[in-house]
């Protein structure tokens, strides 16, 4: 027990070493549990009562525990309980890697109580996720998460991440801005959560299905991965045009939802503004929580708080030791993104004969840079200096190059980048070498422009109302649990009084339940899985994949020619918004006049162009839209050949 073996492991060992005629052969888990309680061998347990045990550990003030803040509950529902943990080792991780960016996520069911665990993660030099702070709280509101950031600011005032990644919950970034109002960190939303929200709304609210839904999801998936600003605007028009021309009203419902909820904050979810992002999803946090629940906690949810703390400390040490061991041994898992870079490098070498790399007139490059074209699709790459060690030996690095193909994986250079680097290695001054040391110095005065691609910003939500509602709901859940425990005990001592009390509560609660068809309510902890998924969720066998992942080589849908897209780039609608007193018989109400941008060719309404003199994408002026408008900057060709544009600096860059 002192060596950390579980009850199951101890029983298996006893059964192997003892025969049936020996008493130790008949040890049960209850016997071992009694021994642990009697000898106080439970890990992390200071007292039989969970809360007293936690308070004892906090009062002990062990520096290695890293308990930065503790607020006990103020009532029987657990309201206002907060516990912040940042160990000295996690503080070192924050100081080394937090400047690259952070990701936050919360999860449930890690203890026997209605508490939520929020984890702050960073990426190390090999792009492996490391938990750098924990918040265990009764609710997850802006005020709760702000406590975590206040503790970080107190112990590390130089905390300045370039970006904050999370799901669509606004509490994380709002809490960060509340504690660090002067920070220029960008807010990035998880691409996976965004796409899941779109898919859920299209199926449930929009009532889209079949081929219509599949084609829409394919267009949305490519829109999320598009990194070229011009083609991004074209894809938006393509999606809205497709929705507006569906036979039913479901497409228009989703189009209006897309315009109002997402077009005002494209800088948060679009790939066009993520040149320095170390991740596009919050899967680092999702993976950590999955590992914590399945491997560390063994799928158990009836965990004491003091035991959870013990498991969190051990899990952090285990992750750090595992990553270090993999790096020292040089295994592939030590740096998955380096492995992906090498894989793309091998692909580029095999397909080099099918591509032509040629210098072209600079269209995307800035002063002192060159631009190259590979194939027929316009994929622009921008090169910049970055001192992290996940690049390929050929010199291609996902942080130094940006490609506008749809293969957008943070920290991984696509095959087009490898083609350009390999074919220009002898002529360029790039020094390709595998560095053994890391340079984590960074400029703390980041003044990156955070302007949105949208012409009209999204309305800001009332965060105080949302926080109050979420806190009230968490209090309601806590009160429900407290009432269950109270009446369970009362039924044994005074069942008559308990029955009358429950009857009065049921009569009051029934007033707030809407009248609907009879049904069976789910229990609070019921998983949203099928029976087979529940049965197989802990299986270690790898499930076979039904289809290979889609890459830039297998586009899901074709991008429509701009001439056929009847969507204004400013108002994002087919018809302009006319004054209320407009006569329907007037010419302005019957005919829509259009203009187009002189530079990128995006079409806009004549009325919208009066308020916006220049294009929001390229900055050029608008001109009249004629029947023979030139769209030479757009290509409809697809298939065997691809295009790539590369901006390459002429000065020497050390990787």
- pLDDT tens digits for 519-532? 434 445 544 454 44
Q: Which range, of 202-216, 269-283, 454-468, 537-551, averages the lowest pLDDT?
A: 537-551
Report yes or no: 27 and 1 within 8 Å, Cβ to Cβ.
no
Report yes or no: 404 and 227 within 8 Å, Cβ to Cβ.
yes
Q: How far apart are CA 628 and CA 260, in angstroms?
A: 33
Report yes or no: 117 and 107 within 8 Å, Cβ to Cβ.
yes
Asked if the model's pLDDT at residue 2 lies above 70, the reply is: yes
3-state secondary structure of 10: helix
Dihedral sign for Cα atoms in the order 376, 382, 383, 388: negative
The pLDDT tens digits of the residues spanning 581-628 come to: 666 666 666 677 788 887 777 888 877 887 777 887 777 888 876 655
Q: Which residue has the tokens 């060992």?
A: 13
| Mean pLDDT for the stretch of residues 546-568 | 59
**Both tokens assigned to 37:** 């309680």
pTM of the model: 0.70
Band the pLDDT of 143: cuts 50, 70, 90: very high
Q: How far apart are CA 83 and CA 306, in angstroms?
A: 11
Asked if the model's pLDDT at residue 378 lies above 70, the reply is: no
Please measure the distance between the N-terminal and C-terminal CA atoms of the chain and give it in whole angstroms: 50
Tell me the average pLDDT of the chain. 76
**Both tokens assigned to 491:** 């039924």
Q: How far apart are CA 104 and CA 416, in angstroms?
A: 32
Report yes or no: 117 and 106 within 8 Å, Cβ to Cβ.
yes
pLDDT at 535: 47
Main-chain dihedrals φ then ψ at residue 117, nearest 5 degrees? -105, 115
3-state secondary structure of 61: coil
Residues comprising the chain, all counted: 655
Q: Residue 121: which of 73, 54, 172 has the closest Cα?
A: 172
Main-chain dihedrals φ then ψ at residue 523, nearest 5 degrees? -70, 155
pLDDT at 29: 86
Rg (CA), the chain: 29
At residue 556's C-alpha, the angle toward residues 550 and 562, to 5°, is 135
Q: How many CB atoms lie within 10 A of CB 236?
A: 26
Q: How far apart are CA 540 and CA 150, in angstroms?
A: 40
Main-chain dihedrals φ then ψ at residue 355, nearest 5 degrees? -120, 150
pLDDT at 452: 40
Pairing of β 67-71 and β 82-85 = antiparallel
| Mean pLDDT for the stretch of residues 283-298 | 88
| Mean pLDDT for the stretch of residues 148-164 | 94
Give me the residues paired with residue 380 across strands. Answer: 645
**Both tokens assigned to 210:** 């079949």
More confident residue, 111 or 364: 111
Band the pLDDT of 208: cuts 50, 70, 90: confident
pLDDT at 558: 61
Q: Give, to the nearest 10 degrees, the angle between helix 7-17 and helix 29-39.
A: 120
Q: How far apart are CA 291 and CA 289, in angstroms?
A: 5
Q: Any idea what DSSP says for residue 70?
A: E
**Both tokens assigned to 208:** 């889209």
| Mean pLDDT for the stretch of residues 97-104 | 92
Beta carbons within 8 Å of 93's beta carbon, 6+ residues apart: 122, 124, 130, 132
**Both tokens assigned to 285:** 């946090």
Main-chain dihedrals φ then ψ at residue 302, nearest 5 degrees? -90, 65
Band the pLDDT of 456: cuts 50, 70, 90: very low
Q: How far apart are CA 560 and CA 234, in angstroms?
A: 8
Band the pLDDT of 82: cuts 50, 70, 90: very high
Q: How far apart are CA 181 and CA 515, in angstroms?
A: 47
Containing 50, the helix (H) or strand (E) segment is helix 50-60
DSSP string, 138-177: S---HHHHHHHHHHHHHH-TT---SEEEE-S-THHHHHHH
**Both tokens assigned to 103:** 């990701």
């Amino acid at each position: 027990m002192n060596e950390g073996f579980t009850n199951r492991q101890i029983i298996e060992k006893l059964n192997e070493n003892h025969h049936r005629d020996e008493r130790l052969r008949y040890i049960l888990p209850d016997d071992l549990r009694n021994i642990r309680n009697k000898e106080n061998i439970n890990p992390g347990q200071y007292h039989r009562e969970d809360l007293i045990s936690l308070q004892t550990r906090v009062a002990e003030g062990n520096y290695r525990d890293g308990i930065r803040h503790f607020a006990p509950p103020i009532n029987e529902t657990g309201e206002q309980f907060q516990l912040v943990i940042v160990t000295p080792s996690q503080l070192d991780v924050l100081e080394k890697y937090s400047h690259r960016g952070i990701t936050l996520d919360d999860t449930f069911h890690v203890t026997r109580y209605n508490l939520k665990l929020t984890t702050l993660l960073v990426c190390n030099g090999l792009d492996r996720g490391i938990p750098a702070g924990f918040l265990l709280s009764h609710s997850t509101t802006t005020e709760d998460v702000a406590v975590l950031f206040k503790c970080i600011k107190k112990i590390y005032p130089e905390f300045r991440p370039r970006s904050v990644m999370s799901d669509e919950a606004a509490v994380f970034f709002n809490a960060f801005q509340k504690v660090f109002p002067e920070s220029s960190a960008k807010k990035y939303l998880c691409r996976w959560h965004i796409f899941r929200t779109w898919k859920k709304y299209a199926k449930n609210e929009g009532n889209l299905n079949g081929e219509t839904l599949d084609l829409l999801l394919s267009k949305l998936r490519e829109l999320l991965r598009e990194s070229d600003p011009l083609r991004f605007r074209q894809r938006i028009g393509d999606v809205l045009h497709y929705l507006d021309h569906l036979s039913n009203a479901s497409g228009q419902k989703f189009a209006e939802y897309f315009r109002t909820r997402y077009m005002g904050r494209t800088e948060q979810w679009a790939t066009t503004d993520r040149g320095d992002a170390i991740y596009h999803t919050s899967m680092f946090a999702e993976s950590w929580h999955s590992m914590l629940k399945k491997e560390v906690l063994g799928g158990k949810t009836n965990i004491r708080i003091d035991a959870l703390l013990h498991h969190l400390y051990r899990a952090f040490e285990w992750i750090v030791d595992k990553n270090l061991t993999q790096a020292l041994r040089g295994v592939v898992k030590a740096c998955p993104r380096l492995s992906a870079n090498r894989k793309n490098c091998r692909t580029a070498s095999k397909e080099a004969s099918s591509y032509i790399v040629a210098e072209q007139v600079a269209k995307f490059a800035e002063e002192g840079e060159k631009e190259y074209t590979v194939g027929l699709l316009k994929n622009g790459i921008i090169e910049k200096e970055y001192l992290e060690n996940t690049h390929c030996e050929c010199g291609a690095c996902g942080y130094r190059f940006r490609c506008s193909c749809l293969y957008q994986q943070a920290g991984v250079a696509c095959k087009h980048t490898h083609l350009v680097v390999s074919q220009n290695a002898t002529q360029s001054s790039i020094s390709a070498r595998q560095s053994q040391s890391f340079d984590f110095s960074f400029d703390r005065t980041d003044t990156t422009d955070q302007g949105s691609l949208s012409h009209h910003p999204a309305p800001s939500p009332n965060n105080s109302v949302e926080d109050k509602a979420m806190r009230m709901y968490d209090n309601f859940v806590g009160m429900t649990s407290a009432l269950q425990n109270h009446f369970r005990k009362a039924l044994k001592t005074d069942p008559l009084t308990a029955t009358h009390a429950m009857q009065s509560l049921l009569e009051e609660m029934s007033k707030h339940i809407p009248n609907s068809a009879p049904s069976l309510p789910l229990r609070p902890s019921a998983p949203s899985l099928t029976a087979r998924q529940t049965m197989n969720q802990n299986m270690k066998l790898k499930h076979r994949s039904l289809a290979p992942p889609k890459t830039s080589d297998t586009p899901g849908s074709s991008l429509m020619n701009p001439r056929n897209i009847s969507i204004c780039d400013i108002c994002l609608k087919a018809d302009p918004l006319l004054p209320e007193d407009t006569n329907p018989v007037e010419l302005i109400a019957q005919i829509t006049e259009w203009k187009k941008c002189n530079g990128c060719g995006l079409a806009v309404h004549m009325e919208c162009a009066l308020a916006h003199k220049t294009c929001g994408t390229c900055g050029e002026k608008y001109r009249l839209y004629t029947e023979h408008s030139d769209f030479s900057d757009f290509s409809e060709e697809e298939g065997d050949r691809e295009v790539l544009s590369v901006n390459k600096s002429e000065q020497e860059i050390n990787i």
